Amino acid sequence: MFAGAATASAAKSPEYQNRGPSKDAGYFLGHPLPTYSWHNCTKTSSYQTSVTRPAGYPAHRKGNKQGKVKWSTTYNSSATATGGVVVKWKVAKKWQVCGVQVAVLGYHKDAPAYLGMMGGYTSGKKKGNTAKGKESIKIRVTKKQANMVGLEKGFGNKSYRIDKVYSIYVFVKKKK
């Protein structure tokens, strides 16, 4: 099951607010995205992990400022959500990270099925990486958000663990 894009109000959503790159980890953003804006930034660089997407899962989308982030990977067999690959990113000089979104497969033991969605992720202003072991970020889906994207009742009011990471979107802006 894949959640549709949430249409949260601009006043409450971190999409259109100026926040640091480590804010709003676990914020539910629906799917398919990335959003147009994250922490008020619209430039992105993206990375597709080697984790196989299930049939029907939305495709990876390339960023519009792909060259502004250098991506690298290392292997760690305990990094289960990314298939053993730890993904690292570093922004180019004169650029900084606004925030990060991940396209994931979420799991909750009491949900009717796994849930494909986008969520907020943490980063530093210059660089970041996925968890070296088990993912600790949980994505909270409220009843209202589940209803907004057309999910059945059993999906709302739960915090989903990140079971698989399919794509990472780093939102960047030029330093002032």
Task: Give the model's pLDDT for residue 36.
Answer: 86
Count the alpha carbons within 13 Å of 4 in the hemisphere toward its beta carbon: 9
Q: What are 6-60's pLDDT values in tens digits?
A: 444 444 778 888 999 999 999 998 766 668 889 999 999 999 999 998 888 888 9
Task: Give the model's pLDDT for residue 1.
Answer: 54
Section 99-108 average pLDDT: 94
Amino acid at 152: E
Count the alpha carbons within 13 Å of 27 in the hemisphere toward its beta carbon: 24
Residue with the larger pLDDT of the pair 78 and 33: 78
Task: Give the model's pLDDT for residue 96.
Answer: 97
Task: Give the model's pLDDT for residue 10.
Answer: 44
Taking the C-alpha atoms of residue 60 and residue 152, their distance in angstroms, rounded to an integer, is: 26
Task: Give the model's pLDDT for residue 7.
Answer: 44
Contact 87, 129 (CB under 8 A): yes
Q: What are 112-154's pLDDT values in tens digits?
A: 999 999 999 999 999 999 998 889 999 999 999 998 888 988 9
Taking the C-alpha atoms of residue 62 and residue 148, their distance in angstroms, rounded to an integer, is: 27
